[in-house]
Each structure stands twice: as C-alpha cells, then as structure tokens.
C-alpha cells in the first residue's frame, strides 16, 4: 500500500487542470481514467483543498456538497456514511465508504495524515466515480432477463451496495415498491436471495 500522502501528491499532479497551488511534481503527470479525485478536509469536515474534479463534485451537490466551508452529505444516508468514515479514520487512520446516486457510485477511501502547519489534523478523501449503468455485466443481465427500467434501477442500487431501504430512498419510491421490484427481479432471474442475485450479475 502506498503512503497516502504520496498518493495524494501524485493524484494532484496527475490532474492537469488542478490549480497551481495544488500541483506537485510527478514522474508521469498524464491523467488516467483510474486517477481519483481528491478532497482534503479537517477532522471537523472543514474543506482544506481539492482537485478541480473534487470541487466539481462538491459544486454538483448531488452526493457530497460544501456548505459554509464544510464538506457534508447531500442526503441523510450519505451524511451518516460520511460521518462514520471520518470517525473511523480518526480512530484507525483509514476507512472506506460508498456513496450512491442514480447511475453512479462514488468509491471513497479516507486516510489520516500528519497535521498541517496550523496543527489541525487532515483527512484525505480519494473519490473514484463509477458509472453503474455502464457496467457491462449489469447491461447483460438486463438484456438476458428482460428487466424493466424500474427493476434495472433497483438492481443498479443493490449492485452499488445499497440496502433495500437505502435503494428505495435513492430511487424515490416506497420500500414496499422496492421490495416488489426486487421480487420481480428474483422471479425473472430464478433466484431467491440478494446474494444469489449478485452472483448472477458477477457471472453476467
């Protein structure tokens, strides 16, 4: 595992659009599809700095947002996961979390680093957006079993790691409706458990 600060420096340097004050020297400054966006916060959630892409994610505000200079979750579910990840990072030096919105998942890694010049502890958040709808296995399952749009959106949310209550909240439907969609997906795919459904997707 690479040193988080080194990962941070290389990630910033790899983002050619990053403002000058965020750039760092790197042997290969070309950006790649795997380069995560970076947000740096204090333990209190106060925003310290971010890559251009990180600022765009915050400005979009559909998952994470910046409110009065502090990074927060755009929904109650995301806020809870963010708070839990920050607390875990403070206690154990690192943590991970997943944030979802329709058709996209943000895989987040949290790392504690040495305090800045003002003595305030810092937390680096590495964010990798994943376009769920573009995952070939999901598209293959939808095509093979004739899933409706509603059923497919539920499958997307479950694949992204949501529970049924979280998926219902994310999709703006009642929990009973989400369970009905899930039962129909079960019927079409011939499985009876979510774990088996995920195996169907994995083999898609």
pLDDT number for residue 29: 41
In this structure, which CATH number among 1.20.59.20, 3.30.1370.100, 1.10.10.10, 1.20.120.420 belongs to the domain 135-202?
1.10.10.10
- DSSP codes of every residue in the chain: ---HHHHHHHHHHH-TTS-GGG----S-----TTPPEEEEEETT-BEEEE-HHHHHHHHH-SSEEEETTEEEESSHHHHHHHHHHHHHHHHHSEEEEEEEETTEEEEEEEEEE---TTS--EEEEEEEEEEGGG-HHHHHHHHHHT--HHHHHHHHHHHTT--HHHHHHHHT--HHHHHHHHHHHHHHHT-SSHHHHHHHHHT-
pLDDT number for residue 19: 38
pLDDT number for residue 148: 94
- Say which CATH superfamily domain 4-131 falls into: PAS domain (3.30.450.20)
pTM score of the predicted model: 0.57
pLDDT number for residue 3: 54
Domain residue spans in the chain?
4-131, 135-202
Provide the residue-wise pLDDT of the chain in tens; the chain has 204 residues: 455 555 555 544 444 443 333 434 444 444 444 578 999 999 999 999 999 989 998 998 888 999 999 999 988 878 888 999 999 898 888 898 888 766 667 889 999 987 656 667 799 999 987 765 556 778 888 999 999 999 998 988 888 777 888 888 878 889 999 999 999 999 999 999 988 998 888 775
């Amino acid at each position: 595992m690479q040193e988080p600060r080194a990962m941070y420096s290389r990630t910033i340097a790899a983002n050619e659009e990053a403002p000058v004050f965020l750039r760092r020297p790197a042997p290969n400054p070309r950006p790649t599809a795997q380069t995560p966006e970076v947000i740096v916060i204090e333990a209190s959630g106060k925003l310290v700095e971010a890559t251009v892409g990180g600022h765009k994610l915050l400005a979009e505000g559909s998952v994470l947002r910046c409110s009065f200079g502090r990074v927060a979750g755009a929904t109650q579910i995301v806020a809870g996961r963010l708070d839990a990840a920050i607390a875990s990072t403070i206690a154990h030096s690192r943590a991970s979390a997943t944030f979802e919105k329709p058709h996209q998942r943000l895989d987040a890694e949290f790392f504690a680093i040495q305090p800045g010049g003002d003595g305030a502890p810092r937390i680096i958040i590495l964010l990798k957006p994943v376009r769920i709808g573009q995952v070939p296995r999901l598209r293959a399952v939808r095509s093979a079993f004739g899933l409706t749009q509603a059923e497919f959106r539920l499958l997307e949310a479950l694949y992204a790691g949501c529970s049924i209550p979280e998926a219902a909240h994310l999709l703006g439907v009642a929990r009973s409706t989400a369970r009905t969609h899930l039962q129909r997906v079960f019927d079409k795919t011939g499985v009876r458990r979510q774990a088996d459904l995920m195996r169907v997707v994995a083999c898609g």
